[in-house]
Structure 1
Amino acid sequence: MDSIPANRRFWNQFSSAYQHQHDPQIGAAPRLWGTYAVPDAHLRALGDVTGKRVLELGCGAGQWSRALAAEGAAVVGIDLSEAQLAAATRAMGAARYPLVQGAAEHLPFAADSFDLVFCDYGGLSWAPPHLAVPQAARVLRRGGRLVFNVASPWFEACYDEAAGHATTTLQQDYFGLDAIAEDDGVTSYQLTYGDWVRVLRGAGLVIDDLIEPRPDPGTANGYNRTDPPDWAHRWPAETLWVTHKP
């Protein structure tokens, strides 16, 4: 299934509203992971990027890319949506970096080009992982790392679509998670833990860590409602994978 045209239309239409709602949080401080804005300083997933060539898959308005470029990384941001890239251009400031329009499942870069490929949701939530992960592995140099944060399958399995929030009750099957049909033909992607392991290992990557970011009980979620409010303090809402190319 080719989800690129519908996903591109969606993000072109949704970009302005998304950035208006979320940039005050995700753009306020550098290196904040996920819907609960957990600092990378606490999770230590990326490490020092100074002098490294870095690719952000699905860079959006470039909040992460901007921060890493300011730290001395040679960053390239890629996004499917020209509206998102326009937002990144407007917000770029002094830390300039290249922007490329493209899809995570068809990366327009040579093999062995990057020391780090990463995303916070972004490309690995909106592109088929069985296509996008091998592409990320291809463009990594030997010893390079793929680091990415996505929704936990726990969160997806407990999400009540009718109520519009995550609950304490299983709402759908865990096995068989893959493509998720959104409105207007838009598709997002969610794998089980086992399927993520198989996709990563199948692409020749070594899994170094699986971090489950755990916000403090009172931490606000700027994207989803949960019942109870401290859901993500009690169960994993997100999974942050740390891998490398041997």
Structure 2
Amino acid sequence: MDSIPANRQYWNQISRGYQHEHDPQIGAAPRLWGMYSIPDAHLHALGDVKGKRVLELGCGAGQWSRSLAAEGATVVGLDLSEAQLAAAARAMGAARYPLVQGAAELLPFAAGSFDLVFCDHGGLSWAPPHLAVPQAARVLRRGGRLVFNTASPWFEVCYDEDARRVTTTLHHDYFGLNTIAEDQGAASYQLTYGDWIKTLRGAGLIIDDLIEPRPDPGTPNGYNETDPPDWARHWPAEMLWITHKP
């Protein structure tokens, strides 16, 4: 949990610039997944949320949370960064929902509090999975679902740190995936496919599906440079896990 202070400081510092750059894309329409803004209507990951109690891990400026609140969900948005939460509060609009400052690896909620816990490159990308996944499972009710999207291990091992882009060359050890050093001392996290399965099963979750979102031809990556530009048409850039608590 040593990454919590550095990650909080990092997101406080970049929040304004991040939202200025990305909100026009991710805030433009509801339920857009990942780096390529693929609609949930195409992937069928979340389903109907009306009347359900929903927790978003790493809500940022609340683009997902306010959309689900408008659909009739009882949403709680959690984020480590007070700057991100302030952005969510400013953008909240008519569909209001509570905002909580906290870390995905130390959730401040009672067991069985939620029907759905989810994130899109949020808490399960910026917290150690071996700590955060059991926390998510703990706060789910029986039959509740954990749905989350992260970068694919393929994307991580092909990332060229010097060029700051993803290429067709392997640059990192697949079996060494764990903590990924980010700017300003922050850290994100990644596991091999096998370790993700062990972590999810170890938390008592059933894996229902693993979607590897494939963007349509010509869809731009809103966050990273890739070489070639259609990299994600050939290899999985992201993985969307769908699980439930039996």
How does the TM-score come out when normalised to structure 1? 0.99
Q: Which residue pairs with 2:161 in the alignment?
A: 161
- 1:61 and 2:61 are equivalent in the alignment: yes
* Aligned ranges 1:35-184 → 2 under 5 Å: 35-184=35-184
Deviation at 1:164, TM superposition (A): 1.1
Q: Percent identity?
A: 83
Aligned partners of 1:130, 1:167: CA distance in 2, in Å?
29
Q: Which residue pairs with 2:186 in the alignment?
A: 186
Aligned partners of 2:121, 2:169: CA distance in 1, in Å?
24
Aligned partners of 1:56, 1:43: CA distance in 2, in Å?
18
Q: Which residue pairs with 2:219 in the alignment?
A: 219
What amino acid sits opposite 1:25 in the alignment? Q
Give SS of 1:124's match: coil
Deviation at 1:49, TM superposition (A): 0.2
Aligned partners of 2:16, 2:137: CA distance in 1, in Å?
31
Q: Which residue pairs with 1:195 in the alignment?
A: 195
Deviation at 1:184, TM superposition (A): 2.1
Aligned partners of 1:183, 1:164: CA distance in 2, in Å?
12
Aligned partners of 2:96, 2:150: CA distance in 1, in Å?
27
Report the aligned-residue RMSD: 0.6
Give SS of 1:155's match: helix
What amino acid sits opposite 1:222 in the alignment? G
Q: Which residue pairs with 1:237 in the alignment?
A: 237
Aligned partners of 1:86, 1:209: CA distance in 2, in Å?
34
Deviation at 1:183, TM superposition (A): 2.2
Aligned partners of 2:184, 2:224: CA distance in 1, in Å?
20
Q: Which residue pairs with 1:28 in the alignment?
A: 28
Aligned partners of 2:183, 2:11: CA distance in 1, in Å?
12
Deviation at 1:238, TM superposition (A): 0.1
Deviation at 1:185, TM superposition (A): 1.4
| Post-superposition CA distance 1:159-184 (Å, at most 9, x none) | 11111111111111100200011222
Deviation at 1:66, TM superposition (A): 0.5
What amino acid sits opposite 1:161 in the alignment? E
Aligned partners of 1:182, 1:92: CA distance in 2, in Å?
29
How does the TM-score come out when normalised to structure 2? 0.99
| Post-superposition CA distance 1:18-37 (Å, at most 9, x none) | 00000000000000000100
Aligned partners of 1:8, 1:46: CA distance in 2, in Å?
28
- 1:208 and 2:208 are equivalent in the alignment: yes
Aligned partners of 1:144, 1:182: CA distance in 2, in Å?
32
Could you tell me which runs of 5 or more consecutive residues in structure 1 were left unpaired when the two chains were aligned: none
Aligned partners of 1:183, 1:92: CA distance in 2, in Å?
29
Aligned partners of 2:70, 2:183: CA distance in 1, in Å?
37
Q: Which residue pairs with 1:10 in the alignment?
A: 10
